[in-house]
Amino acid sequence: MRFRPCIDIHNGKVKQIVGQSLKDLGDSAVNNFVSEYDAAFYAEMYANLGLCNGHVILLNAGDSPFYEETKKQALLALSRTPGRLQAGGGINADNAKEFLDAGASHVIVTSYVFKDGKINFENLEKMVKTVGKKHLVIDLSCKKKNDSYYVVTDRWQKFSDTKLNPETMDMLSNYCDEFLVHAADVEGQQNGIEEDVAGMLGDWAFENDKKITYAGGIHSFDDIKILKRLGKSKIDVTIGSALKIFGGNMELKKVVDFLSKE
């Protein structure tokens, strides 16, 4: 179990938001934290701590008036620490190479693959052909509906018809190097993890050789311990709003040290 850092960018600023509050209309969100520092500051901080394989996430839609400023921040972070961070948010076969050329180790896709609520295998295969399986992360961020978890797209605003379950992961694991899963119902709320999601991911990871990163709800070291138990030590973790660098109470260095000892 490793710590994966994150840099979320919205309206050109590094932020931590309440996941369910993000809206394309008006580029609005409920902010937990808005940083005075740029994305490169955080990228270099993580690099100085020896951290890698974190996520730079662009939270504006491609047609947003803020998208170019958000993208500029993302590319700046990637270029300052080449090969250490992954890039996600609005990635497709046409723009993926730009992010890899800027320094991303991987690109992360959701909406381009889960097009119009369904898995678009044409787009998925196009992504694999464009960047290669070893550079592709599939984001299976989810929300609960009718007692099941479904993959959500378009910055967690739209439900797809794809359930987050072992069958889905078995199928998609043939196309990617890693999975990233935000439990969007608890993202940014610091009320504890989505234990059902963590347990399912842990069971699947225990049987399969595929890296998975979980995000959502962590606000204490006890939460990390629960995730480690449910995830059978096979799931990596990213923490946002709870970190002191993002206005929370958990010190980044202590989290890193805790996980290295674990």
């047609």: which residue's tokens? 63
Tens digits of pLDDT across the chain (262 residues): 999 999 999 999 999 876 566 677 677 677 778 999 999 999 999 999 999 999 999 999 888 999 999 999 999 999 999 999 999 999 999 999 999 999 999 999 999 999 888 999 999 999 999 999 999 999 999 999 999 999 998 867 789 999 999 999 999 999 999 999 999 888 766 678 999 999 999 999 999 989 999 999 999 999 999 999 999 999 999 999 999 999 999 999 999 999 988 6
Does 258 reside within a domain? no
Does 56 reside within a domain? yes
CATH of the domain at 85: 3.20.20.70
Measured between alpha carbons, how far is 247 from 262 in angstroms, rounded to an integer? 25
Does 262 reside within a domain? no
Measured between alpha carbons, how far is 229 from 1 in angstroms, rounded to an integer? 10
pTM of the entire predicted model: 0.93
Q: Residue 140 has which token pair? A: 């299976």
Asked whether the beta carbons of 160 and 143 are under 8 A apart, the reply is: no
Does 242 reside within a domain? yes
Measured between alpha carbons, how far is 215 from 19 in angstroms, rounded to an integer? 11
Does 259 reside within a domain? no
Element (DSSP H or E) covering residue 43: helix 39-48
- Domains contained in the chain, number: 1
Does 174 reside within a domain? yes
Host domain of residue 135: 6-248
